[in-house]
């Protein structure tokens, strides 16, 4: 590996001069600068990120925490898309993305925070984690520049999908289609579920629709089995709902299966709606009625914010950025 020293030898100048020339400092003569750059290129010089980091305390590396206890992290459509977009955004600014090791197996493993410090990440983005994990809290409570997705922490920037208006729009549309008996199978507790559920009730109230308790069920996100069971229970009620909202598109398919097996037709006999807007949903008939979360913007905003936080901490406003989703009408909610 060719280093500054090698270049300095060839050019007959000091390493200091080479360093400054390559970094475009103004106190190096144009001539020398050009020459040094030329030689550096010819010799195939590459900076050493470790040395750079050691000296400057900046790594140009962003840690991302993406736990997948249920082996769900990367294969989770929503988060994979967000990560993809985040990655593109920060990479366009010269930052790299490194996963914060979430392995529980490594013997001398560090906590998330320790790991982030060890690697010297300039900033950290948290997504799709068990927010009630002590280590996550520790990380969120540290002094590392940090952006979270879909979860708020005190004095931290959060990019959140607008679950409140999303659910409201969905409900409103369903209502417009004439439905009055609307059930909601919600996901496990957490900030996302909380917002959707609250919005669900509030919107129902606005339309003066009463929602019997038995219309509200819980089934884990992306659990098709659970969604199927809940669907069965709902349909067995004396007055079953005419439309069921699911925790997400994936589990919606669990419901659809059960419905099909019972010999009911969608949307003639029963309507269903998902949440997320996963890609496949628009490619299978009938197209899913759902709220398409804007993963592109969520990821891009998270990227912009973390970089801003790193590069101009003073002028970066700590806020909660709400990204609205979009109703996709599909064909699984029918007119009544």
- Interaction site with a second copy (CB under 8 A): 1, 46-51, 53-54, 59, 61, 68, 71, 73-75, 77, 80-81, 83-84, 87-88, 91-94, 96-99, 101-103, 105-106, 108, 110, 114, 117-120, 224, 250, 253-254, 256-257, 260-261, 279-280, 283-285
CA distances from 130 to 18, 48, 66, 274 (A): 48, 36, 10, 23
Pull the structure tokens for residue 242.
């005419």
Closest separation in Å from C-beta 38 to DNA = 14
Per the CB < 8 A criterion, the answer to whether 189 and 160 are in contact is: no
* Residue of 197, 204, 206, 257 whose CA lies nearest to 230: 257
CA distances from 47 to 39, 51, 98, 199, 218 (A): 14, 8, 19, 52, 53
Question: Which is nearer to DNA, 44 or 263 (by Cβ)?
Answer: 44
Binding partner of residue 205 among DNA, a second copy, none, CB under 5 to 8 Å per kind? none
Pull the structure tokens for residue 246.
């699911």
> Where are the extended beta strands (E) located within 134-215?
146-149, 157-161, 182-186
How far apart, in whole angstroms, are the C-alpha atoms of residue 197 and residue 200? 5
Closest separation in Å from C-beta 336 to a second copy = 24
Closest separation in Å from C-beta 108 to DNA = 13
Binding partner of residue 5 among DNA, a second copy, none, CB under 5 to 8 Å per kind? DNA
> H or E segment at 115?
helix 112-119
First and final C-alpha spacing in the chain: 72
Question: Which is nearer to DNA, 283 or 312 (by Cβ)?
Answer: 312
Question: Which is nearer to DNA, 49 or 194 (by Cβ)?
Answer: 49
- Helices 249-261 and 224-236, interaxial angle, to 10°? 50
Place of tokens 């069920």: 217
Closest separation in Å from C-beta 147 to a second copy = 18
Question: Which is nearer to a second copy, 213 or 285 (by Cβ)?
Answer: 285
Residues in the chain, total: 336
Closest separation in Å from C-beta 254 to a second copy = 6
Closest separation in Å from C-beta 203 to a second copy = 29
Contact set with DNA (CB under 7 A): 1, 3-5, 12-17, 19-20, 22-23, 26-33, 45-48, 51-52, 54-56
How far apart, in whole angstroms, are the C-alpha atoms of residue 105 and residue 108? 9
Closest separation in Å from C-beta 108 to a second copy = 8
Question: Which is nearer to DNA, 32 or 324 (by Cβ)?
Answer: 32
Place of tokens 């010819």: 42
Binding partner of residue 134 among a second copy, DNA, none, CB under 5 to 8 Å per kind? none
Question: Which is nearer to a second copy, 203 or 224 (by Cβ)?
Answer: 224
């Amino acid at each position: 590996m060719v280093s500054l020293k090698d270049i300095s030898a060839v050019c007959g100048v000091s390493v200091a001069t080479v360093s400054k020339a390559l970094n475009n400092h103004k106190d190096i003569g144009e001539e020398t600068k050009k020459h040094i750059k030329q030689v550096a290129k010819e010799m195939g010089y590459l900076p050493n990120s470790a040395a750079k980091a050691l000296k400057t305390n900046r790594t140009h590396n962003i840690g991302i925490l993406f736990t997948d206890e249920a082996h769900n992290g990367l294969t989770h459509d929503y988060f994979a898309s967000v990560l993809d977009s985040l990655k593109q955004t920060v990479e366009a600014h010269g930052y790299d993305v490194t996963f914060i090791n979430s392995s529980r197996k490594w013997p001398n493993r560090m906590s998330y925070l320790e790991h982030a410090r060890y690697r010297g990440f300039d900033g950290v983005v948290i997504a799709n984690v068990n927010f009630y994990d002590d280590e996550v809290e520790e990380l969120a409570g540290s002094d590392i520049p940090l952006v979270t997705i879909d979860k708020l922490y005190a004095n931290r920037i959060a990019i959140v999908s607008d679950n409140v208006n999303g659910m409201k729009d969905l409900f409103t549309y369903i209502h417009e289609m004439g439905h009055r008996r609307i059930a909601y199978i919600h996901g496990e507790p957490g900030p996302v579920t909380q917002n959707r559920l609250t919005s669900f009730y509030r919107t129902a109230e606005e339309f003066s629709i009463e929602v019997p308790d038995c219309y509200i069920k819980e089934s884990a996100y992306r659990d098709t089995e659970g969604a199927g069971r809940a669907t069965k229970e709902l349909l067995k009620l004396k007055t079953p709902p005419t439309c069921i909202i699911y925790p997400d598109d994936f589990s919606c398919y669990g419901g659809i299966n059960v419905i099909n097996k019972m010999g009911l037709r969608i949307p003639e006999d029963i309507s269903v709606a998902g949440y997320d807007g996963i890609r496949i949903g628009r490619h299978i008939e009938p197209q899913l009625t759902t709220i398409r979360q804007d993963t592109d913007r969520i990821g891009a905003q998270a990227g912009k914010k973390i970089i801003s936080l790193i590069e101009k901490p003073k002028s970066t406003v700590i806020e909660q950025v709400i990204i609205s989703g979009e109703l996709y009408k599909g064909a699984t909610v029918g007119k009544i």
